[in-house]
C-alpha cells in the first residue's frame, strides 16, 4: 500500500498546486533519488555515452534524465486537467496528417514510440484530438496502483490493453481487435520485455528489439506510424508523427520483419539521439534480461 499512497499523494499534490511548482518539487525529489540510486545513475551514464558516442558525460546530463522522468510523472498525474483546448495551447502537433491518412486505409495504425519524452501524454494528445487510441501497457503488481494508472489513461480517452507474460493470447486478441476497429494501437518499441526479440545494432551495441510492431503490421496490413512527444528547452511540448512504415512487398516473412524492425530502430534512435536526456532507460539497454523501466 505504500506505493499506492505515494501515488495518491503525488496525484492530489499535482492537482492542487501550480504546474511549475510541481515540476520544481519533482526535480528536487529526482535529484535526491539519483544521488542515492548509484546503480541506476551509472546505468544512465553508460547509456548516454553510447547514445552520444562519447566516453564522458556530465553529472548534469545524468541528473537531467531523472528530472525529465519526474516531470513526466507530474504530467501524468495532471491528466484530469487536460482538455482538447489545453492540448492545442500547450502542444505543437506536427505530422498529424500522417496518422490520419494511415487510418484512412481502414486497417488501423500501429503507433510506435519509445520510452522517450512523455509517451503517456502522446497517447492522450491523440485521443483528445479525436482519434481512437489503445495502448499496450504493463500491469503493476499492486492492484490498486494498477487501477490508478488505468483510470488515469481512461480519463483522457486512452484504453489500456494489459500486457501480461502469462496471458499473451488475450493480449494478441485485444490488439487485433483494436486494429480491426481502425484504432491507433500504441506500442513502445525500444526494449524487448519477452526476451525473444530480434537482435539488431543500436548505438553501437547488439540489442534485442521487439518483433511485435512488425508482426502486427504483417498480419493485419496496418502501417506503423512512429510518433514521439518531447519537451523542448522552453518547456513547451512537441508531438511529431513521422511518415508511415509499410510492409515491404515480395520478401519472405522473416526478412520483412527484419526490414520493418530495422526501420523502427532507425527512427527511434534518431529521436533518442536528439533528446538523450529524455530517454528513460535506467539499466544498460544492451544488457540481456528483463527490462527495468520506471
pLDDT at 192: 86
User: What is 188-215 written as a DSSP string?
Assistant: E-SS-SSS--EEEEETTEEEEE-SHHHH
What is residue 288's predicted lDDT score, i.e. its pLDDT?
Answer: 64
Identify the CA nearest to 223 among candidates 205, 247, 242, 206. Answer: 247
Q: Give the residue-averaged pLDDT of 32-61.
A: 96
3-state secondary structure of 81: helix
Half-sphere exposure of 124 (CA within 13 A, CB side): 31
Q: Which of 237, 224, 214 is nearest to 122 (CA)?
A: 237
Q: Say how far apart CA 192 and CA 165 lie, in whole Å.
A: 12
- Say what the pLDDT of residue 17 is: 94
60 pLDDT above the threshold of 80 = yes
Q: Output 10 or 64, whichever has higher pLDDT.
A: 64
What nine digits make up the cell of 85? 483546448
Q: Where are the alpha helices (DSSP H) in the chain?
A: 2-16, 19-36, 38-52, 59-77, 84-90, 96-103, 119-128, 143-155, 168-180, 212-220, 253-274
Q: What's the confidence (pLDDT) of residue 59?
A: 96
Q: Which residue has the higher pLDDT, 109 or 289?
A: 109
Residue 294's pLDDT is 46
Q: Residue 125 pLDDT > 70, yes or no?
A: yes
Mean pLDDT of 116-145: 92
CA–CA separation, 47 and 59 (whole Å): 13
Question: Could you give the CA distance from residue 257 to residue 235 in angstroms, rounded to a whole number?
Answer: 37
User: Number of C-alpha atoms within 13 angstroms, CB side, residue 159?
Assistant: 13
pTM: 0.93
Instruction: Quickly state the pLDDT bin for 167 (edges 50, 70, 90).
Output: low
Please determine, for residue 193, whether its predicted confidence score (pLDDT) is greater than 90. no
Listed range (20-24, 97-101, 148-152) with the worst mean pLDDT: 148-152
Q: Which three cell numbers stand for residue 18?
A: 501550480
Distance CA 270, CA 20 (A): 29
- pLDDT tops 60 at residue 293: no
Pairing of strands 237-241, 133-138: unpaired
| Mean pLDDT, rounded, of the chain | 92
Q: Tell me the average pLDDT across 159-185.
A: 88
pLDDT beyond 60 at 118: yes
Amino acid at each position: 500500500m505504500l506505493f499506492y499512497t505515494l501515488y495518491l499523494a503525488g496525484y492530489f499534490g499535482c492537482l492542487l498546486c501550480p504546474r511549475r511548482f510541481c515540476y520544481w518539487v519533482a526535480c528536487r525529489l529526482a535529484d535526491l533519488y539519483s544521488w542515492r540510486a548509484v546503480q541506476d545513475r551509472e546505468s544512465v551514464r553508460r547509456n548516454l555515452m553510447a547514445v552520444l558516442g562519447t566516453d564522458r558525460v556530465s553529472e548534469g546530463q545524468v541528473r537531467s534524465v531523472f528530472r525529465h522522468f519526474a516531470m513526466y510523472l507530474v504530467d501524468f498525474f495532471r491528466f484530469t486537467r487536460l482538455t482538447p483546448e489545453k492540448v492545442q495551447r500547450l502542444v505543437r502537433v506536427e505530422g498529424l496528417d500522417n496518422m490520419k491518412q494511415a487510418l484512412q486505409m481502414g486497417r488501423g495504425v500501429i503507433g510506435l514510440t519509445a520510452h522517450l519524452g512523455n509517451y503517456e501524454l502522446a497517447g492522450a494528445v491523440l485521443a483528445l484530438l479525436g482519434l481512437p487510441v489503445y495502448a499496450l501497457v504493463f500491469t503493476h503488481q499492486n492492484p490498486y496502483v494498477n487501477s490508478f494508472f488505468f483510470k488515469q489513461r481512461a480519463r483522457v480517452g486512452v484504453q489500456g490493453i494489459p500486457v501480461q507474460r502469462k496471458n499473451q493470447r488475450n493480449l494478441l486478441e485485444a490488439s487485433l481487435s483494436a486494429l480491426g476497429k481502425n484504432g491507433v494501437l500504441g506500442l513502445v518499441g525500444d526494449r524487448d520485455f519477452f526476451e525473444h526479440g530480434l537482435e539488431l545494432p543500436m548505438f553501437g551495441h547488439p540489442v534485442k528489439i521487439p518483433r511485435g510492431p512488425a508482426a502486427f503490421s504483417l498480419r493485419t496490413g496496418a502501417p506503423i506510424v512512429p510518433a514521439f512527444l518531447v519537451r523542448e528547452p522552453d518547456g513547451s511540448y512537441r508531438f511529431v508523427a513521422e511518415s508511415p512504415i509499410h510492409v515491404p512487398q515480395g520478401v519472405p516473412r522473416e526478412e520483412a520483419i527484419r526490414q520493418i524492425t530495422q526501420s523502427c530502430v532507425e527512427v527511434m534512435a534518431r529521436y533518442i539521439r536528439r533528446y538523450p536526456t529524455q530517454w528513460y532507460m535506467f539499466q544498460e539497454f544492451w544488457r540481456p534480461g528483463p527490462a527495468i523501466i520506471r
